[in-house]
Structure 1
């Protein structure tokens, strides 16, 4: 067998002669031999003129007019065949050359192929048999077999490389553990980082992190220095199963050893961190990656742009986007969609539209999510013409509308006052079976609410509830506004309680219910609601401040009103004219005439209502001089005479007696 591996002999050399065998018959003369000798040639060109001279006679083609034969009748055929062969060689040059496999093999490789008995397969038959035998152990319970007995027939038959192949082709972690233990008992075994990396990869795929850590420590104890692949395999195992703390600790240890993971490992790590919404750590790892001069690829840029967008870092996201295009990586539609949504969210509508135009230039068809963001932008800007153009683009690109876009379309119809179109679109969604999102229901309920169809709005919300669609805070808010508009106190209070169970109501909901109480004169319930809002630490907005102050004024709660006014000054909220007029009446009723006068002086342009309030206060206190001054100012304003007449009529209706001097003053001024 050693002779077959000699580079000087052909792998098909015949066996040497037996010295004890009978002598061979004497060969005949070459002249008498009809068959030409077969000669071996090491030339690269397999064609020669002698190959065509076969000893077997060939039938000559029938010709009507036989011509004079050539000196060698097969010469033309051989020349043509050789020309075709050379043409094929020229055509198949390079990596795709269709050269027969036996031509590419050296004699040593042919001898090894015959010895391995692969028969054209990737591995030898004994390797395939070992793989199947170890895989079959997966059907047997753990502890019911001994790997030494199972692999007894393969002792000394598998080389170290072949044992690594058997280990790599296993699917179960138990078979890997047992075979690796048997493998270490073989004479040809030598500790190598390659075999340990194979075991680490399989353990990491099935989540056996503890076993992987033990194998890694064993590799260090065996004197095998971990390389980039082994460390990257361990990092990917941590990342795959969400062990991010251990992953970052191991990454720090790897960097201390000056081992730099590949970009694929970095991608695996940042992708795992992003799935757990750890965008801050993604950004930190990205910066370390740039500091280590690791070249990011398209997937890396996509992940980091997404994390920047989730953290609302607009400038950083666009900076990474520009670097991505500069590096020659064309962004995907999802990347454009993230940046468009981010721009719309932060009020950068021009950037969003520029990105959309860039998508159209690159022939990237936008998704429904991208189109929904652009439609939302046009709705905010009340630019319904561009929204119509966008719908035209969707029809041209044959984009099927989803429920989100239908909901935006309903809101657009509502803003334009196209009530019938909105109702028709809602019924169309209901027929085609796309009515599943609560935002679509709420959009239609808002349209009904804005046109005053409160019953229809309540019916839409009840339809949503009957279809087991969970009501959000926004849906409860719309339902509360419907009941407030209908002045249905019981239903409004019940809706407010249900809203409080889902979470703390916002200032708008509290203001709606409080205005209903104030409108119906239910000030006791209003004060209870204000106390509850104070207890729950609900943040006030401008509308809630004014409504609470109005309740305090009507109830004469001076101290509470002054405290609330100080709070409004602290948040830079000014008290409007109507509220100050109510405060003047409250101060006058409580005997604080001086405070009422101070409020009147603070008004830049007092209206007739403010003058009439002070006039009533002066008349009730019997201060005729100041009443005369206020009455003069009242008559000089627009509508002052009408207000004075209404005031006299009011006193007459209420039966309040006026002093003669007061009547004289009023008569004198008005005439």
Structure 2
């Protein structure tokens, strides 16, 4: 270098030497020329020269030399500026030395130096390439803090990278906030940016936001990619907005968007859901002829279309075609094959598929439920029980649907101990069940327990069933903790009572009382009335006594007991209870009044009828037409109609 530059000694200014340094092609030449520069009289330590040298070292990935040059600059008393610091940051970023990069970045912040946007972009891009999206977001927040104070203004590249990292991190709201800043800067996002935002919005179920992003992209004249269109089609499929899906497909054809197998698969699925089976078959054949048919999901989509049309043999043909073409099956296709055999009620084939499915690990709850439902449907309770024990052994976590099926099998097979354990585990595990599911489980549980209680067998198993109801109580508590849970439980009691399942209704009534929850009067009264219809006066009296002991009872329960006493022929006690109810100020039901008066009339107790009538008139009870007619009929039969005063009084009340 000295020989080459000998003729230029004392002829170049410092500025000219910097220009020559910048034009050196290799790091060695730059290193040697800088060494020559420092020997010249006009040389003075400058951040410009060191920055040029740092860039040369960085382009050659000579990190150690770059670090030495930076230290030398500091020792020479040169204060590094934003460009110099940014250059070294870019050197670290290029080589993926993110730890050193972030340490040096922290040091520059402490010195109050804000790197230029180009350096930030380099760092952000490097971090994103290495999937360090959390650090990208951290760095972005620093940029926002510096934006106003240091004039660090993000550009198009910055926004694109940051939005991409927010999307990768699943932070939709934050990504949309950055998009808003990008719009405010009057920058138009790329198709890839819109695409990733549409995809994430779709996964979050933000249908309106997806449509808004798509329309905004189209307004900018951006042609969507097939990936973007696939995300939109999947959203329309999920939301059952099939008309928009078909409209989008037509738009894709007009815009000459390349339609790949994924999109065709979604289209086949949509055709099947809206009943266009011929169109689905035609599309499947077209992509097969075009040589695009290679994805397992496309075969399964077509098989599902046939299953929806109950063409199970055709579904099996499609899945068989997939295997013949050496398309590697997965749990996805085995699940479809299992559903097909279950629909055909082919136990042997379904069991073979399930065994193959188990080779991929634990089957999902949907497959387990499909096979278990098949066992129940065909009455194979022994196989169903064995399958449940196997699931318990393999610790398969139950969802609502599978739990319902398992409870049904346990109740039918007498596996109450297992049912108790399953319910306790689900309650202790915090598994959230819908109110309807809990009601169904409680109903099955009550039906089985009452049947056991009615058996004459006093074995230890039956005794255990009778004494341990903690699992049922836990489920009842879960139901009661939901909004309106107490009302739902009472609805079940009323339903069971009206269906004549009084033992089950009483069992649940007792469980609620034991939990300290007062059953609604309507539930208690419905059960008492049903006892009366079944001529079970003793049970009605027991329930009435129990209800009055546990909680204060009101008019509806009194009226129900009066009704039950009448139906069972105990008219005298019904009359005394009615008068007691009236004396205590409880509401008197007009239907109960009519029933009681009718029975008293049949037994010739006309004085009691008159007492009831006067009590109603003086108590200003609102009677309906049936009640008035009942009173008139009773009075006619007792020859009281000849008493003009009473007749006039009765007529006056009827007119009123």
Check whether TM > 0.5. Answer: yes
Deviation at 1:520, TM superposition (A): 5.2
> Deviations along 1:253-289, whole A, 9 cap, x unmatched?
1111111111111122222222333333222211211
Residue 72 of structure 2, aligned match among 212, 218, 232: 218
Residue 409 of structure 1, aligned match among 261, 267, 272: 267
Which residue number corresponds to residue 223 of structure 2?
365
Which residue number corresponds to residue 106 of structure 2?
252
Seen in structure 2, the aligned counterparts of structure 1 residues 519 and 198 have a Cα distance that, compared at 3 Å, is farther
Seen in structure 2, the aligned counterparts of structure 1 residues 472 and 280 have a Cα distance that, compared at 3 Å, is farther
Q: How many Å separate the matches in 1 of 2:321 and 2:36?
A: 68
Which residue number corresponds to residue 646 of structure 1?
none
Which residue number corresponds to residue 539 of structure 2?
none
Deviation at 1:410, TM superposition (A): 0.6
Residue 431 of structure 2, aligned match among 544, 565, 571: 571
Seen in structure 2, the aligned counterparts of structure 1 residues 553 and 327 have a Cα distance that, compared at 3 Å, is same
> Deviations along 1:417-445, whole A, 9 cap, x unmatched?
11111111011111222223333233222
1:265-276 equivalence runs, <5 A: 265-276=119-130
Is the aligned partner of 1:157 residue 2:17?
no
Seen in structure 2, the aligned counterparts of structure 1 residues 572 and 362 have a Cα distance that, compared at 3 Å, is closer
Seen in structure 2, the aligned counterparts of structure 1 residues 490 and 186 have a Cα distance that, compared at 3 Å, is farther
Deviation at 1:562, TM superposition (A): 2.0
Is the aligned partner of 1:505 residue 2:363?
yes
1:7-156 equivalence runs, <5 A: 152-156=3-7
Q: How many Å separate the matches in 2 of 1:229 and 1:371?
A: 43
Q: How many Å separate the matches in 1 of 2:532 and 2:331?
A: 51
Q: How many Å separate the matches in 1 of 2:331 and 2:3?
A: 70
> Deviations along 1:389-431, whole A, 9 cap, x unmatched?
3233223323332222212211110101111111110111112
> Which blocks of at least 5 consecutive residues in structure 1 are unaligned?
1-147, 618-625, 635-671
1:343-492 equivalence runs, <5 A: 343-465=201-323, 467=325, 469-489=327-347, 492=350
Which residue number corresponds to residue 92 of structure 2?
238
Is the aligned partner of 1:296 residue 2:154?
yes
Equivalent pair of 2:404/2:441 in contact (CA under 8 Å): no
Deviation at 1:528, TM superposition (A): 5.5
Equivalent pair of 1:483/1:492 in contact (CA under 8 Å): yes
Q: How many Å separate the matches in 1 of 2:127 and 2:239?
A: 37
Q: How many Å separate the matches in 1 of 2:133 and 2:280?
A: 40
Deviation at 1:193, TM superposition (A): 3.3
Equivalent pair of 1:549/1:579 in contact (CA under 8 Å): no
Q: How many Å separate the matches in 1 of 2:498 and 2:396?
A: 36
Q: Which stretch shifts more, 406-415 or 281-290? A: 281-290
Report the secondary structure of 1:365's partner residue.
Answer: coil
Q: How many Å separate the matches in 2 of 1:587 and 1:408?
A: 50
Q: How many Å separate the matches in 2 of 1:165 and 1:468?
A: 64
Equivalent pair of 1:220/1:226 in contact (CA under 8 Å): yes
Q: How many Å separate the matches in 1 of 2:497 and 2:447?
A: 13
Q: How many Å separate the matches in 2 of 1:465 and 1:171?
A: 59
Equivalent pair of 1:372/1:405 in contact (CA under 8 Å): yes
Report the secondary structure of 1:329's partner residue.
Answer: coil
Report the secondary structure of 1:292's partner residue.
Answer: helix
Which residue number corresponds to residue 605 of structure 1?
495
Q: How many Å separate the matches in 2 of 1:607 and 1:360?
A: 61
Seen in structure 2, the aligned counterparts of structure 1 residues 591 and 323 have a Cα distance that, compared at 3 Å, is same
Q: How many Å separate the matches in 1 of 2:58 and 2:352?
A: 54
TM-score by length of 2: 0.62
Is the aligned partner of 1:584 residue 2:435?
no
Deviation at 1:291, TM superposition (A): 0.8
Seen in structure 2, the aligned counterparts of structure 1 residues 188 and 365 have a Cα distance that, compared at 3 Å, is same
Greater radius of gyration (CA): 1
Is the aligned partner of 1:545 residue 2:403?
yes
> Deviations along 1:70-110, whole A, 9 cap, x unmatched?
xxxxxxxxxxxxxxxxxxxxxxxxxxxxxxxxxxxxxxxxx
Q: How many Å separate the matches in 2 of 1:249 and 1:630?
A: 82
Q: How many Å separate the matches in 1 of 2:374 and 2:39?
A: 86
> Deviations along 1:560-601, whole A, 9 cap, x unmatched?
212323445553434344773465236634646968999999
Q: How many Å separate the matches in 2 of 1:535 and 1:189?
A: 82
Residue 196 of structure 1, aligned match among 50, 59, 80: 50
Q: Which stretch shifts more, 237-246 or 176-185? A: 176-185
Seen in structure 2, the aligned counterparts of structure 1 residues 279 and 519 have a Cα distance that, compared at 3 Å, is same
Q: How many Å separate the matches in 2 of 1:174 and 1:630?
A: 104
Equivalent pair of 2:450/2:504 in contact (CA under 8 Å): no
Is the aligned partner of 1:279 residue 2:133?
yes
Name the count of aligned residue pairs.
475
Seen in structure 2, the aligned counterparts of structure 1 residues 156 and 187 have a Cα distance that, compared at 3 Å, is farther
Deviation at 1:471, TM superposition (A): 4.0
Greater percentage in helix: 2
Deviation at 1:153, TM superposition (A): 4.0
Seen in structure 2, the aligned counterparts of structure 1 residues 224 and 442 have a Cα distance that, compared at 3 Å, is farther
Q: How many Å separate the matches in 2 of 1:200 and 1:463?
A: 62
Q: How many Å separate the matches in 1 of 2:105 and 2:283?
A: 55
Which residue number corresponds to residue 521 of structure 2?
none
Deviation at 1:223, TM superposition (A): 3.5
Equivalent pair of 1:550/1:579 in contact (CA under 8 Å): no
> Which blocks of at least 5 consecutive residues in structure 2 are unaligned?
453-460, 477-488, 508-526, 536-656
Q: How many Å separate the matches in 2 of 1:588 and 1:633?
A: 18
Seen in structure 2, the aligned counterparts of structure 1 residues 223 and 439 have a Cα distance that, compared at 3 Å, is farther
Q: How many Å separate the matches in 2 of 1:203 and 1:463?
A: 59
Deviation at 1:328, TM superposition (A): 1.7
Seen in structure 2, the aligned counterparts of structure 1 residues 335 and 614 have a Cα distance that, compared at 3 Å, is closer
Q: How many Å separate the matches in 2 of 1:239 and 1:318?
A: 27
Equivalent pair of 1:518/1:526 in contact (CA under 8 Å): yes
Q: How many Å separate the matches in 1 of 2:294 and 2:32?
A: 53
Q: How many Å separate the matches in 2 of 1:238 and 1:501?
A: 47
Seen in structure 2, the aligned counterparts of structure 1 residues 500 and 254 have a Cα distance that, compared at 3 Å, is farther
